[in-house]
């Protein structure tokens, strides 16, 4: 499928948002509210990473807005010394869309979770991605409902025993990256809460991208789903399981980089031992491929049991954003026709009643 | 009063529309009432497929599209069957005989041809082979038979135009413009229109023609306007008068979609229209835009309000301006999408979790939608609150002459955003929930304003600081403050229409029943029975003088197209024994029936 070129100028992700020369520190982004997540919650690390990362953008703080839905992670805006709205369950992408469309001078971030974004708010998520609204969506995936105290979520592995599924959950889970790519998101990335460096790199690329950027963050919930991502945190285990993507580099992993990703069957990808297939067969990652099938194939390498999981930026392509195009229509209409209210009200067919 | 009825593919709405324009151009006052099937294309020639358009025009000012037509134009047996019961004895019936064949008659259950038995003996029946004559008239144009036959609605219009001495230039010009890309079709329609006109002139069967003199209206320049268009124009004007960009976030739904269609044409006024993925996203985008300092608007009908309720609650909590338009239709559930009803009043009033007060404004006629929309925006902006505007299907699609307002006379709706810290403790902070002492509105501090960074949301707020608070006394105080803010909204006093000043019975109405109630009141007064009429635009809060007004009368009666929703509110608030008269048929009241109801009540009180 080709993208229709609307003839709009190419812009950076933050074009139009006022910058400042004043140096900023992470603490400038901390609000005066006491952070109230459970001790050890992965949300703390992500908050910290975001607060450390934002100063590097050099934006005026008052032009940054965080919009969230409902869930543990959706408390995020209260802890940021920016503008923010803690809205209602699942609706943050819709609210942020209205804000982004009407205010090109804002950097708008959505904070959501696996339940918020993929269950109750699934519709808004896919449509926001399809439209390519200039929003950065941070999806905290802890594979459980935390705020309501421990029911399975749409990313929980099948058979999950929880309060609401004592005999095991029946549903097949979503892979959020696959879902986003199915909606043809122009930017999709994944990172681990504990990997500050990897997370920051994905955030940086997301911020620079003009359009919707979905960043899935694996986040540990020590209270209701502790250790969900532990296999990715043990140093050796992680090397065998995590396939980290870097644009322009061959996709290799393993304790000694002994594994690689190679083509398989009809448009698929699989993991192979490099010693068996040869380095020349290993796929060189290209996040800018127009066709989302390649990134989709990459996302399918992640398994429910995390035997493999792919991190980094899957896809990063240029496509006109909905908000830029919507503003362009308004500006063109204004230039073409003056806003003459009296003429509008009068219309074409009038008649006049005279006094007699 | 004329009703055009035919198959929904016969172009009845277009025919009615043109006749309306002719009448308006002539200076008659008029009111119209379209009635179309729910299905986009119901099977041809069947009862569900009947589409009609009723027009009332006269030389006095008209309040309703009229109850019963004087003339019925029936294009096929289905149209005849669906509408004949409304034609009074002695009424004129014009039928298109070409469609009265066996197959069509059987389709709608006529055992014998009504044109051949004596079932239509009470009416003045004119049988005209409209399709045949139209095809004949277009023979020389070289147009195919099928295309030629389709112009028969213009033949009907031409015939009616002759009967009522309507000017014809406007219609001919309109047809040429409408089909400017297909000049042969345009000429065919003009020819068919003229053929109808000449048919009337040359045929003896139409012995009488009617001349209706121009109506006496207030001086000024008029146009014809439908409710949905007037509502859209009210929003455009509100955007101009407030200096705010408008963002309409919405989802298509009958009968509200025309508001989206209309506004999407006026981007040059700084209007953005966003057709969202669902009703919830529509209002979400509108609220997001309001948060950013635009005027957020969402438009829908009853089922959509159900879906938007949670976001309306968020707007109540975050105290942001937002306009929610509900063009009511028959309910519950999907109900009667193309029919009218006033049954969303209690939903608008109470249909959210928690104590969640929302002001309600309701227009009473198509042209009144313009003023009602501007007034609703005034309330939203002044009091930083979501406002519900309750229109309905009858108003939305109905039309009437509108005295075009002078733009210089429109109210100023400009607002000021917060720019400075406002903490009352000298800390130099910004507190988002410090209230204006008069309006109780909170400051509107939009993102991008330096130094005023703050967070809002759906959790309960601490008074003043706006931080999250679970404190019992604070919650009690905030619930009461939000209620007090809405209760304190300034709305004009209710005006009582009681020409003789000695009425003992008061009739109270709201919304689109203004026309039939007003017409019924006039009729009973002519019979020497005094009655007072109050029509409410503001349903929450009610006008301050309403309690006094209600208590002045021996009897208060409230006719509604629901099961007594306004009556319930009035009884609860004012402890007045309001009588309810209700009808829920998906159709407006008829002046005739309300006349009987009022007359009975007045006579009862007088005795
Ligand atoms: S319940 Fe889990 S996700 Fe929620 S705050 Fe506690 S640890 Fe974090």
Distances (CA, A) of B551 to A200, A332, B504, B546: 70, 57, 11, 9
Question: What pLDDT does residue B479 have?
Answer: 98
Ligand 1 atom closest to residue A224's alpha carbon, by position in its atom list:
2
Q: How sure is the predictor about B91, in pLDDT bands with cuts at 50, 70 and 90?
A: confident
Domains (range + CATH), chain B: 2-202 (3.40.920.10), 223-409 (3.40.50.970), 416-490 (no CATH), 496-603 (3.40.50.920)
Instruction: Return the exposure string of B146-157: e unless at least 16 CB atoms fall within 10 Å of the residue's CB, then b.
Output: eebbbbbbbbbb
Question: What pLDDT does residue A1 have?
Answer: 44
Q: How sure is the predictor about B206, in pLDDT bands with cuts at 50, 70 and 90?
A: low
- From the CA of B157, how many Å to the nearest CA of chain A? 19
The answer to whether residues B251 and B278 touch, using CB atoms and an 8 Å cutoff, is yes
Neighbours of B448 (CB within 10 A): 20
Ligand 1 atom closest to residue A37's alpha carbon, by position in its atom list:
5
B461 vs A contacts (CB less than 8 Å): none
List, edge to edge, every strand of the sheet that includes B246-250.
Answer: B271-275, B246-250, B295-300, B322-328, B386-392, B360-361, B538-540
Q: Report the separation in Å between the CA atom of A63 and the middle of ligand 1, taken as the mean of its atom positions.
A: 29
B296 vs A contacts (CB less than 8 Å): 98
Q: When comparing pLDDT for B500 and B25, which is higher? A: B500
Question: What pLDDT does residue B454 have?
Answer: 97
Question: What pLDDT does residue B143 have?
Answer: 82
Stretch B154-179: mean pLDDT: 82
The answer to whether residues A178 and A164 touch, using CB atoms and an 8 Å cutoff, is no
- From the CA of A150, how many Å to the nearest CA of chain B? 21
Question: What pLDDT does residue B353 have?
Answer: 98
Question: What pLDDT does residue B422 have?
Answer: 97
Cross-chain CB nearest to B458 (options A86, A97, A127): A86
Gap between the Cα atoms of B143 and B49, Å rounded = 27
Q: Report the separation in Å between the CA atom of A74 and the middle of ligand 1, taken as the mean of its atom positions.
A: 11
Gap between the Cα atoms of B64 and B599, Å rounded = 19
Question: What pLDDT does residue B70 have?
Answer: 83
Ligand 1 proximal residues by C-beta, below 6 Å: A 37-38, 41, 43, 72, 142, 146, 221-224
Neighbours of A47 (CB within 10 A): 21
Q: Looking at the predicted structure, is the pLDDT value of residue A5 above 80?
A: no
Q: Looking at the predicted structure, is the pLDDT value of residue B208 above 70?
A: no
Question: What pLDDT does residue B21 have?
Answer: 75
Task: Kindly state the percentage of chain B with pLDDT values over 90.
Answer: 64
Do residue A106 and residue B453 have CB atoms under 8 angstroms apart?
A: no
For A79, nearest residue in chain B (alpha carbons): B455
Ligand 1 atom closest to residue A221's alpha carbon, by position in its atom list:
2
Tokens 């099977």 label which residue?
Answer: B43
The answer to whether residues B494 and B534 touch, using CB atoms and an 8 Å cutoff, is yes
Question: What pLDDT does residue A355 have?
Answer: 63
Do residue B404 and residue A62 have CB atoms under 8 angstroms apart?
A: no
Cross-chain CB nearest to B219 (options A70, A326, A355): A355
Q: Report the separation in Å between the CA atom of B399 and the middle of ligand 1, taken as the mean of its atom positions.
A: 57
Question: What pLDDT does residue B211 have?
Answer: 54
Cross-chain CB nearest to A103 (options B278, B292, B407): B292
Gap between the Cα atoms of B86 and B72, Å rounded = 9
Q: How sure is the predictor about B197, in pLDDT bands with cuts at 50, 70 and 90?
A: confident
Gap between the Cα atoms of A320 and A323, Å rounded = 9
* Helix (H/G/I), strand (E/B), else coil: A279: helix
A321 and B CB contact within 8 Å: no
Question: What pLDDT does residue B393 have?
Answer: 95
B277 vs A contacts (CB less than 8 Å): 123-124, 127
What tens digit of pLDDT does each residue of B220-270 get?
888 889 999 999 999 999 999 999 999 999 999 999 999 999 999 999 999
Gap between the Cα atoms of B22 and B482, Å rounded = 50
Neighbour-count burial of A312, counting CB atoms closer than 10 A to its CB (0-12 exposed, 13-18 middle, 19+ buried): buried
Q: When comparing pLDDT for A276 and A356, which is higher? A: A276
Gap between the Cα atoms of A324 and A321, Å rounded = 5
Domains (range + CATH), chain A: 26-237 (3.40.50.970)
Q: Looking at the predicted structure, is the pLDDT value of residue B607 above 60?
A: no
Residue nearest to atom 1 of ligand 1 (CA): A146
List, edge to edge, every strand of the sheet that includes A83-86.
Answer: A242-244, A309-316, A187-192, A213-218, A136-141, A107-113, A64-68, A83-86, B455-457
Q: Looking at the predicted structure, is the pLDDT value of residue A3 above 60?
A: no
| B397: its two tokens | 């699609």
The answer to whether the bond into B255 is cis (omega within 30° of 0) is yes
Residues 6+ apart with CB under 8 A from A168: A158, A159, A160, A161
List A80's β-bridge partners, or say none: A30
Do residue A350 and residue B404 have CB atoms under 8 angstroms apart?
A: yes
For B315, nearest residue in chain A (alpha carbons): A87
Gap between the Cα atoms of A33 and A47, Å rounded = 13
Q: Looking at the predicted structure, is the pLDDT value of residue B212 above 60?
A: no
B313 vs A contacts (CB less than 8 Å): 88
Nearest to B541 by CA among B513, B574, B514, B518: B574
Q: How sure is the predictor about B215, in pLDDT bands with cuts at 50, 70 and 90?
A: low
For A102, nearest residue in chain B (alpha carbons): B289
For B429, nearest residue in chain A (alpha carbons): A32
Report the relative pairing of strands B2-7 and B29-35 from DSSP bridges.
unpaired
* Interface mutation target, options B214, B230, B288, chain A, most CBs of A under 10 Å: B288
Stretch B400-428: mean pLDDT: 96
Q: When comparing pLDDT for B356 and B192, which is higher? A: B356
- From the CA of A53, how many Å to the nearest CA of chain B? 19
Question: What pLDDT does residue B185 have?
Answer: 85
Q: Model-level pTM? A: 0.86
List B29's β-bridge partners, or say none: B58
Tokens 């109850």 label which residue?
Answer: B67
Residues 6+ apart with CB under 8 A from B444: B293, B320, B321, B384, B415, B417, B418
Q: When comparing pLDDT for B166 and B332, which is higher? A: B332
């Amino acid at each position: 499928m080709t993208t229709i070129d609307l003839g709009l100028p190419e812009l950076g992700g933050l074009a139009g948002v006022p910058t400042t020369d004043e140096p900023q520190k992470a603490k400038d982004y901390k609000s005066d509210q006491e952070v109230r997540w459970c001790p050890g919650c992965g949300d703390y690390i992500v908050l910290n990473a975001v607060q450390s990362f934002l100063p590097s953008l050099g934006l005026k703080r008052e032009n940054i807005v965080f919009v969230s839905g409902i869930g543990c992670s959706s408390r995020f805006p209260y802890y940021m010394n920016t503008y923010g709205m803690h809205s209602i369950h699942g609706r943050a992408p819709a609210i942020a869309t209205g804000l982004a469309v009407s205010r090109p001078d804002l950097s708008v971030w959505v904070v959501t979770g696996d339940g918020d974004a993929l269950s109750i708010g699934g519709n808004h998520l896919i449509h926001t991605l399809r439209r390519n609204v200039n929003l950065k969506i941070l999806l905290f995936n802890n594979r459980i409902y935390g705020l309501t105290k421990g029911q399975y979520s749409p990313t929980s592995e099948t058979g999950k025993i929880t309060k609401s599924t004592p005999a095991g959950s029946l549903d097949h889970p979503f892979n959020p990256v696959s879902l986003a790519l199915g909606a043809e998101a122009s930017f999709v990335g994944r990172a681990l809460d504990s990997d500050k460096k990897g997370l920051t790199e994905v955030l940086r690329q997301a911020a620079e991208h003009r359009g919707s950027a979905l960043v899935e963050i694996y986040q540990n919930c020590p209270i209701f789903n502790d250790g969900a991502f532990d296999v990715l945190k043990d140093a050796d285990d992680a090397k065998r399981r995590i396939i980290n993507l870097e644009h322009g580099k061959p996709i290799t992993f393993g304790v000694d980089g002994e594994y690689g990703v190679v083509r398989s069957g009809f448009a698929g990808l699989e993991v192979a031992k490099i010693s068996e297939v040869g380095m020349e067969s290993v796929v060189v990652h290209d996040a800018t491929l127009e066709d989302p099938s390649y990134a989709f194939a990459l996302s399918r390498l992640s398994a429910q049991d995390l035997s493999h999981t792919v991190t980094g930026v899957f896809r990063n392509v240029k496509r006109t954003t909905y908000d830029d195009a919507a503003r362009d229509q308004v500006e063109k209409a204004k230039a073409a026709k003056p806003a003459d209210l009296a003429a509008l009200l009068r219309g074409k067919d009038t008649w006049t009643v005279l006094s007699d | 009063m004329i009703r055009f009825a035919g198959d929904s593919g016969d172009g009845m709405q277009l025919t009615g529309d043109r006749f309306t324009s002719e009448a308006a151009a002539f200076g008659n006052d008029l009111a119209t009432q379209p009635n179309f099937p729910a299905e986009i294309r119901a099977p041809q020639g069947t009862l569900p497929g009947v589409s009609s358009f009723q027009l009332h025009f006269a030389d006095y000012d008209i309040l309703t599209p009229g109850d019963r037509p004087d003339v019925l134009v029936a294009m096929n047996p289905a149209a005849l069957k669906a509408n004949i019961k409304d034609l009074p004895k002695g009424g004129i019936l014009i039928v298109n005989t070409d469609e009265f064949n066996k197959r069509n008659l059987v389709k709608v259950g006529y055992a014998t041809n009504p044109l051949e038995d004596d079932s239509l003996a009470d009416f003045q029946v004119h049988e005209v082979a409209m399709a045949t004559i139209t095809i004949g008239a277009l023979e020389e144009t070289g147009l195919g038979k099928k295309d030629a036959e389709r112009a028969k609605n213009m033949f009907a219009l031409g015939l009616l135009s002759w009967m009522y001495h309507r000017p014809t230039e406007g219609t001919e010009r309109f047809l040429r413009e409408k089909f400017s890309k297909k000049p042969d079709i345009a000429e065919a329609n003009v020819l068919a229109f003229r053929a109808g006109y000449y048919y009337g002139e040359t045929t003896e069967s139409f012995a009488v023609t009617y001349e209706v003199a121009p109506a006496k209206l207030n001086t000024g320049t008029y146009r014809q306007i439908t409710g949905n268009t007037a509502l859209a124009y009210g929003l455009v004007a509100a955007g101009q008068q407030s200096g705010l960009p408008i963002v309409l976030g919405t989802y298509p739904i009958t009968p509200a979609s025309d508001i989206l269609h209309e506004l999407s044409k006026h981007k040059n006024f700084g209007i953005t229209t966003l057709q969202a993925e669902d009703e919830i996203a529509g209002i979400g985008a509108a609220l997001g835009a309001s948060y950013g300092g635009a005027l957020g608007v969402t438009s829908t009908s009853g089922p959509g309000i159900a879906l938007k309720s949670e976001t309306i609650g968020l707007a109540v909590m975050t105290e942001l301006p937002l306009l929610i338009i509900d063009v009511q239709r028959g309910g519950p559930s999907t109900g009667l999408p193309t029919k009218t009803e006033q049954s969303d009043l209690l939903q608008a009033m109470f249909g959210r979790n928690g104590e969640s007060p929302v002001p309600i404004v309701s227009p009473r006629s198509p042209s009144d939608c313009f003023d009602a929309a501007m007034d609703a925006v005034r309330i939203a902006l002044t009091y930083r609150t979501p406002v519900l505007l309750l229109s309905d299907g009858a108003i939305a699609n109905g039309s009437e002459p509108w005295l075009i307002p002078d733009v210089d006379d429109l109210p100023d709706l400009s607002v000021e955003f917060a720019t400075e810290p406002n903490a009352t403790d000298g800390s130099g902070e910004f507190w988002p929930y410090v209230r204006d002492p008069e309006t109780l509105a909170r400051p509107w501090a939009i993102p991008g304003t330096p130094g005023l960074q703050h967070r809002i949301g759906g959790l309960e707020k601490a008074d003043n600081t706006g931080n999250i608070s679970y404190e019992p006394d604070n919650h009690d105080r905030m619930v009461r403050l939000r209620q007090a803010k809405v209760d304190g909204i300034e709305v004009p006093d209710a005006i009582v229409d009681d020409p003789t000043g000695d009425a003992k019975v008061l009739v109270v109405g709201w919304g689109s029943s203004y026309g039939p109630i007003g017409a019924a009141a006039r009729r009973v007064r002519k019979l020497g029975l005094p009655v007072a009429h109050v029509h409410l635009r503001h349903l929450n809060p009610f006008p301050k003088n309403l309690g006094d007004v209600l208590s002045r009368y021996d009897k208060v009666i409230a006719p509604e197209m629901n099961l007594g929703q306004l009556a319930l509110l009035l009884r609860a608030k004012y402890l007045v024994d309001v009588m309810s008269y209700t009808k829920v048929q998906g159709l407006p009241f008829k002046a005739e029936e309300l006349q009987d109801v009022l007359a009975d009540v007045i006579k009862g009180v007088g005795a």
